[in-house]
Structure formats: structure tokens, C-alpha cells
Structure 1
Amino acid sequence: MSVTFNTDVLSIILYFLRYNKQTLYSCLFVNRLWCQLTIPILWRDPWTFFYRIENNSPPSIPTQPLKLINTYLSLLPIESIIELQKNGINVPIHSIEPSFNYPMYLRGLDLNYLYKSIIRWIYDKYNEKLSIHPLQKAVSRLKKFGKKVTGRDDSIETIDDEDKLKNEQILLIYSKLLSFFFKESPKLSLIRIKPKKNDIMFSNLINSNEAKKCLSYLTGLECVDDHKMEETYAHLALSNTNIYQIMIHGYQNTKSLANLLSVQKKLQKLYFVNINNISPYVYWTTPGVGLELQKKAHFIIKLKLEGSCGFLELLKDFINLEEFSLRCVHKNSCNDRIPLKAPTLRNLKKLEFEYEHKYEINFIANLIRNTRQLTKIIIKGSRISDPNNCNLLLDSIKNYCLQLKICSIPISIINPRLISLLESCKNIQRLSLFSIPSENQININYCDNFLVQILESEPVSLHTLELINCSFSVEVWEKFLEAQYISKKSISYLWMKHNFQPSEEFLKNCSTYKRLGMLKTFENINLYRACLSPKFYLRID
């Protein structure tokens, strides 16, 4: 029996899957309607699906960026394709027009990723050309060897000429695609900019009427506070006053970026990345970017810091904050920059801390005490400088977070009060416990009581449980899994090899439990989630 969906309802369902590429790709093949509704979602911000692109990746990895550039090039106007071919760029001309005009759906543009993808595309074509003619390649090498023997080596000049030609081709493709995007996309909602030489070309292109119209709808900007971008920010300030989310890398105090921020009327989401070598108060009070942001601090409802622990000192200025995230992957401790007194943020609903260096639980526990509406708490990182305060953290959560739904916390005591936590926070749906064992606890089953307390409390809402670095006896573990399997809970068991290693017997049992469907996964993680999580980057809401 076929099932039909209301088109509007189906569109909403697919939209909520916008960051799940595999699922969306499967939806393309259901039928024509599903395909027509899925394509605009897949192509609204295609860079997010393969956001990380490393220059030293093996040739087999970057197939997705190459396909992306191939698709966009095939859609260029015929006159642009002919111009590219005249400049030695092999762009095939298709006899059949594509089913969709993909640039029309573009709402997010990542200039850095676009530029890197074009570089890979050019070098892939160049290597492909060499591999097609191995005899010519061998002859060329023999000629170069002969010139070296006779003292007439001009290989350096040849390489320089080749690199110069490649760079010219890269910039030509870059300019053609940008012009094409500005022409075809009715509006761009988000743009990510990094200070590269290619962005000088972008500064020139955005002065066109098509670019001005397209970028006038901009609501999100990821940028670098760099003087090289003065002209770009000056152009954006003339036509953009509705940016509500911005990510800033660096702190050169660019005047035009400060002017761009000053004219924004709806700024609500602020991200800082790697602003760590300047005093927060100097940044906050010096005329320029920091001061303009300080003026808008009470409008900010979402704040994210990456590698910028010092800005914890400024939390008290964000009085209406609803979401706060801090991710610091620096090896060196930033504790000397953490304020002694936690601010009061009554509207805070989501709180996330991810550390690779040492950090204090006491500050986080006191911050939680000063809130009343938290529904999400994520604390990740094993290098705790005050593990005895884990009990204080539990008390703060159970007393002040009665609406909590998602909880990830470290546990460093033998008998934590998990029962009281689960009884107070009855709405917890996802719980992650990270055990921080002391030296005398490594070889004993000190975490059995975790499982016993969860079994006794019988949390009704809990459906996902993650246990990290925990030492369990096989008997208690098996009893626990059988009970949770009946209640259909999803259980994951993880450990960090440099901190803890389960016994072979225990791992064999885990393998059996996984085959039986009682355990979702069990695996070693080299570093905790702070190192595994993707970097912050802006998304289209």
C-alpha cells in the first residue's frame, strides 16, 4: 500500500534532515516529488557536507569537492565555458541540459572551501593529463636529464611557468563561478570569508549590481578581523543591516568591520575563534570591533567561544544569553584567565564546555547554580584540576536544572548521587557519564554502583546512555544490559586507551552483547569529544 504525504509536511520533514547527507541522498530516489523537494535542501549550502578539506589528503579522499566543481562548471554559460577552454581548462560541454539549475538553490557560500576545491580540481586535471600520456612524460624527463648533463637546466623556469599557469586558471575559474553564483542565486543568506589572495578578487566582484542585490539578503557572516578585508567589509556595510549571526577570527581591530557591526540591527548570535592573546577588557573597551560588540552584548542570545577562554570574563555582560558554548583545544592551561566569580545568567538554557587543557569544575558548578532554565549541559574533557568538586557539580544540577533533557558530565567519586540526580531531573533523555578514576581505582569495578543506581531509579524518559572510561564487573554489566534492552534504551560503552583499558574478557562480552542488539557500540576513543567534535562554523538556520 502506497503512502502519500502532504507536500508541505514532507518539505518540513526533509528540511529537518538538512545536515544528514546520506538520508537526503536516499530521498532523491523515492520518486520525482521527493527528488524535487530534496535537491534545493542538498544544494543550499553544499560545503557543510565535506567542510574539512586538508591540503595533504590522499588523492582518494577529495572526490566530493571535485564532483561539486565539475557540476558547477558544467552549468556555466557557453561563452564562459569557451573562455575557459581557450585558457587551457578542459571543461566538457554537455549536449543534454541538467535537470536542475543548482546555483539557483545556493544560500550559503564558503569562499575558502570554493577556492581550495578549485585548486584540487585543477591539479587533478593536470595529473590526469600526465597519466594519459606516460610516453610523453618519460620523454620529458629524459630531455630534462639531458639538459642537466649538458649544463642547460631550465627545469626551474618550466616549473615556475606551470605554477603560474595553474594559478591563473584557478583565479579565472574562481571569478567565473562567483559571478555565476551572484547572477543565479536569488539571495545568499550566509557567506564564509578567509583572508586569501583570492578574496581580493571577491572584493572587486561584490561591487557589481548583481552581487550587491544577491548579498543584500545576507543574515550570516563568518569573517576574519584582518586589514586585507577592509574593502570587502566596507562594501557589505553599505547594503547589509540584517546580519543576526557572525563568527570572527582574530582581533586586528579592522575599522571597516567595526563599521559593519555598528549598522547591524538584528545581531543575536556571536562566535569568537582564537582570540586569546589579548586582554578581554582591552578588547572590549578599545574603540573598534570589540567596543561595537560590547554595545550589542545585551542583544546576544547565543555565544560560542573556540580557543578563547579569556572571554569567560565578559560573560556577565551577556545578560540575555540563552546558549553558551566554549571549546578550547589548546594544550596549555587557561585557568589563570578564568574569573573567580561565575556570572548570573537567568535565561541560559544550553551550556557546553569542551576542554583539552585543565579546567575547574567549581566555576562551572557555580555558573549552573546561577541559572534556572537549563535543558542541556555538556561538560567534556578529562583533565579536571579539582575532581573533588564533581559532587558539587551533581548537587548544582539536581537542585537548579529540573527541566534538564541532555546531560554529559564527568564523575570522579566512587559513589556519586546519581539516584537523586535522576529523581530530581526526571526529563533527562540523554545521559553521558565520563569516569575520572583515581590511581587506586583503576583495577577495581568502582563503577558498578553507577549501573545499580540507574537500575534502581528506573528513569522513564532516559533513552540514550553513554558510559566512558568506566570499569564494570561482567556480572553487573550483563544484568544491566538485559534490563535496558527490555526498556529499549540505547547504550554505548567507550574508553580512552591512555587512561583506561578494559579487560579482554569484558570486551569479548561487549562483542557478544552488540551482536545480540543489547549494546549499540563499544570502542576506544583516542581523545575525548573535545578533540573529536567538528570546529565551529556558521550554518543557515
Structure 2
Amino acid sequence: MVNRLWCETTVPVLWRKPWCYSINYRNKKSLYSIITSYLSDNVKEFLTKKGIKVSSKSLAFDYLSFCRSIDVKTIDDIISVRSSTEYKRFLLQEKIYGFLIKKCSEIKYLNICGTYELVYLPEAKNHLESLCELTCDTSIGSKYFYRISHICQQIQRIIIINNNFKDNDGTTKLIEYQKNLKYFEWVDSYNLDNYYDNYAYDIEYPYKIFDILEKHANTLNHFEINLHIFDDYDYTFLNYALLDLHNLKVIKIYSPLLLFDNVDFNEKLEIVTYRNLEILEVESMDIYQVTCIVKNSFYLRELLINEYYVNYSNFIDVSLNFIRTICENCFLIEYLTIPVFPLLESHFIEFEKLLNKCQKLRSLYFRGMHYEKERELEYGKYMSNVLIREASTNLRDIGFTYNIKFSLKDLETFFEKWKGRPAISIYMNNNYFYQDDSYKKLISKYKIEGVIKYINV
């Protein structure tokens, strides 16, 4: 009775999106068995005559009645379990997809990164109209995207895998036709061998799709990009795309934003307001431009810049303004990367205000922006004192770059005064500095006492 009740509760949940789990679907013969169990007797007889094994067992639940998702790539992997030839695979695809599109009456999630052109099936129009999430790749023909664009115009999440060196007009139409787009993700997934093989040939600019995103500025709240950076491409489109998307909650760009010291872009960025922004995560970006983006972002929880850039002629003023902006606007911040700032009283005052005001701060990482030769230990002494005195008890993780070093005495003082707080995890960029026995004994002691949760020394 307990097992039956548990199954009745969990099966509808698990089978809503049965293709999304981190498992090897090629090895899941049970899924092949379940899917083929649904086929009609005539279809099973036909496939058996073609030398394809299908299941005849009865099922405890009507699993596919709960399914709201079709993932062509994953289902193709499952089909390959019993299709030893391309012809047998085609026969199975034809019968299984034809059945699935009928059985799954309301498809919410669709992944067409595969070989079977699902949307041309007669039932596709009625069963895909309410589609909410689409994952696709740019190797798919434009006509296929045109078909999707006319059927599905209420998609809220679109994830595009770019594996084509040329622009795909179909993906542009897909974006253009949507009426409530909230989530856009683009991932470059080139075969780099093909790129260099074709370097001397006509490789077109494949990012025209970004020009159409402005149309969705009022609804789009998630913008996630991962680009391959090639010297012969102009990537300024990515910077200018951000100017139009004022309603974003999440900006994740796993590539450098390469437009530095551009007066035109900076002037336009100064007047843009990202009031709803909660997450800003960028591989590398100019510190002044980061400040412009977050200056009115009162809900910011994560600011993660892996590498800050700056014009060193005005670094003192720009870095001070950055710290002050975080302090004045981002009091909800939980995860923060901050450039190393000059050892100046003005910066100390603003940084201490930041620590005192940002009481939700859980993770603080310093990035190696500023370096004062032979003053690394001064940074360490200052940090050991100010973090104990001002940091919130919520702080759990701290990362120090190569230009902040702790003497044995300062590190011991820090750990001793940290007692009574939750255990801390510390990441040292120059961990070789702490490799002698005195540091190792000190660290071992405070690990045993529960002061240190983790340290990469």
C-alpha cells in the first residue's frame, strides 16, 4: 500500500519531463521497453517482421499520459538500443514519434537537437501550440524553424546551441514571432577543427539573431550567453544588445565583454537602468561599465566578474566609486567579486561601510586588479582585521588573489578571532606561499577546532 501510494505520487512528477535527468539513456533499455509497449499490435507486428524487437509487457501506469516533454536527441539515443542499422532506426523513429505526438496531448518542453523532423507530423500544430520551452541548434534547416515559428508563438524559454558558422535566418524568425519571451540562452558549440579547416573560406557572421532581441525588451528577464572568441569577428553586438534589455533579472555572459573605453557605449550605458537585476555574471568586463549596470540595481544578489578591466589613469576614482556603488545600492548582495583596491584611507572607509551594510554577504572574492609591490602583507594585515570587525556572520567563503598575503601572525589572529562564527572556506590564489611547516601546522590546528571548513593549502 505504501509503495503504491508513493508511486502514484512520484510517477506523474518524474514523467512530466522524463528525458531531463543526468543518466546515460543509451543504457536505459527499460525506457525503450516502456515506449514500445504503447505501440499498437499492428505496428509491433510490422516492426517484428523487420527484425526489430519491441516490448509486449503490460504497464503498471499510463506513464506517457503524464509526459509534457519530447527530447529528440534523448529519444534517438533510446531508440538506438534496438536499431542496429540506419533503416531500422528510421522505422522506429517514424512509429514512435508519430505515437508520441498523439499521446502527449499538451507538450510544454521540446528539444529538437536531433535528426527527426517532429514538427512536420500532422498532429504537431495542435499539440505544440502551448509550448513553453524550446531547445534547438542552428544546424537545423531554416524551413524547420519557419514551421515552428508559425505553430509556437508563446514560447517563454529558448535555448539555442550554435554549431553553424553561418547565420540561420530561421532562428531569427523564431525569436521575432514570440509574444512572451522571458528566457534567452545562446551557446557556441563549434567544432574548432572545422573552423580552422574553413578559415580561408566564406565564414559568415552568425549573430544577427541578437539584433531582434530588442523587440522583447519588456518581457525578457534572463540573458545567458557563451561565445567562442575568434579574432576575425566583431563582438560589439553583445555590448549593445545589453543597452536595449532593461528588464533583465539575470545576465550571464561566459565570454569577455570586449568594448573598453568606448565613449559612445559608455554614454549610453550611463542612462540605462536595470532596476530588476538580481544576477550579473560575466567572464571579464570594464569596472566602470559594471558600476553603471549595478548603480540602480537594488535587488542584486550576485555580482561575479572573473576579471575586471580598467583604465589605470583613473583607477583610484573608478575603484572607489565601484565600492561606494555596491555599498549604497546592493545591500542584498550575497555573492560578490571585488577588485583589489589601493591601500588608501578613502577606500578603507568605503569598503568597511560595504561590509557593515551588506549583512547578507555569503561569498567574497578578490580579483587581482591593483598591485603595490612588496605591500602584499599589508593587504593581508588589513583584511584580517577588517573582516573580523565588520563582516557579517553570514560570510562563509573568502577568496584572496596573489597580491594579498597573510603573515603567520596575522593568519593566526584571524582564525583565533573567527572562533564562534560558522566555519570558513578560504581560497588562496598563491597557496605556495603557505606551504612551509609553520603555516601547515597552524591550518591543521584550526581545521581540527572547526574554524576552517576548507582551505586550498
Please give the TM-score of this superposition, normalised by the length of structure 1. Answer: 0.64
Structure 2 Cα separation of the partners of residues 118 and 494 of structure 1: 46
SS at match of 2:341: coil
- CA apart distance, 1:321: 2.8
d(CA) in 2 for partners of 1:175, 1:468: 57
Q: Report what 2:305 is aligned to.
A: 380
Is 1:189 equivalent to 2:105 in the alignment?
A: no
Alpha-carbon offset, residue 456 of structure 1 = 0.7
SS of residue in 2 equivalent to 1:446: helix
Out of 406, 430, 437, the position equivalent to 1:472 is 406
| Aligned with residue 222 of structure 1, among 129, 135, 143 | 135
State the distance in 1 between where 2:372 and 2:298 align. 37
Question: Relative contact order, CA 8 A, sep 6+: which one is greater?
Answer: 1
**2:332 is aligned with 1:396:** no
Cα deviation, residue 363, structure 1: 1.5
Percent identical across equivalent pairs?
18
For residue 267 of structure 1, the aligned residue among 181, 184, 190 is 181
Change (3 A) 1:259 1:368: closer
For structure 1, the residue ranges without an aligned partner over 5 or more in a row are 1-29, 51-62, 126-164, 284-288, 525-541
- Pairwise CA distance, 1:508: 5.7
| 1:42 maps to 2:2 | no
Instruction: State the distance in 2 between where 1:456 and 1:177 align.
Output: 65
Partner of 2:225: 305
Deviations 1:13-66 (A, max 9, x none): xxxxxxxxxxxxxxxxx965455433433343344432xxxxxxxxxxxx6323
Pairing 1:419-434 to 2, within 5 Å after superposition: 419-426=352-359, 428-434=360-366
Report 1:50-65 matches (<5 A). Answer: 50=22, 64-65=24-25
Distance change >3 Å, CA 384–CA 114, structure 1 → 2: farther
Secondary structure at 1:45 match in 2: coil
Unaligned runs of 5+ in 2: 191-202, 228-234
Q: Distance between the aligned counterparts of 2:16 and 2:60, measured in 1? A: 16
Query: What does residue 97 of structure 2 align with?
Result: 178
RMSD: 4.0
Does the CA contact (< 8 Å) of 1:104 and 1:184 recur in 2? yes
Structure-to-structure mapping, 1:346-385, within 5 angstroms: 346-355=274-283, 359-369=285-295, 371-382=296-307, 384=309
CA distance in 2, matches of 1:219, 1:279: 29
Q: Distance in 1 between matches of 2:442 and 2:96?
A: 55
Contact 1:106 1:185 in 2 (8 A): yes
Alpha-carbon contact 2:278-2:297 (below 8 Å) kept: no
Paired amino acid for 1:413: F
Distance, in Å, in 2 between the alignment partners of 1:476 and 1:118 is 62
Q: Do residues 212 (structure 1) and 173 (structure 2) align?
A: no
Number of matched pairs: 416
Corresponding residue for 1:456?
389
Structure 1 partner of 2:194: none
Q: Deviations over 1:346-384 (max 9, x none)?
A: 4232232331xx542222123222x24232232232474
The verdict on how the C-alpha distance between 1:262 and 1:365 changes in structure 2, with shifts beyond 3 A counting, is closer
CA contact (8 A) 1:72 1:102 kept: no
Aligned 8 A contact 1:309 1:337 in 2: no
DSSP-derived class of the 2:279 partner: strand
Distance in 1, Cα, partners of 2:3 & 2:446? 38
Residue type at the aligned position of 1:40: P
Q: Does 1:74 align with 2:34?
A: yes
* Contact persistence 1:390–1:413 (CA under 8 A): yes
Q: Which residue is equivalent to 1:296?
A: 216
Residues 178-230 of structure 1: per-residue CA shift (max 9 Å, x gap): 33432333422222333x5x14x3344xx222x3333222012233345x433
**Alpha-carbon distance change, 230 to 109 in structure 1, aligned in 2, over 3 angstroms:** same
Structure 1 residue 320: Cα displacement: 2.8
Change in CA separation of 1:484 and 1:102 when aligned onto 2, cut-off 3 Å: farther
Q: Give, in whole Å, the separation in 2 of the partners of 1:480 and 1:82.
A: 75
Quick one: which of 118, 123, 131 aligns to 1:202? 118
TM-score by length of 2: 0.74
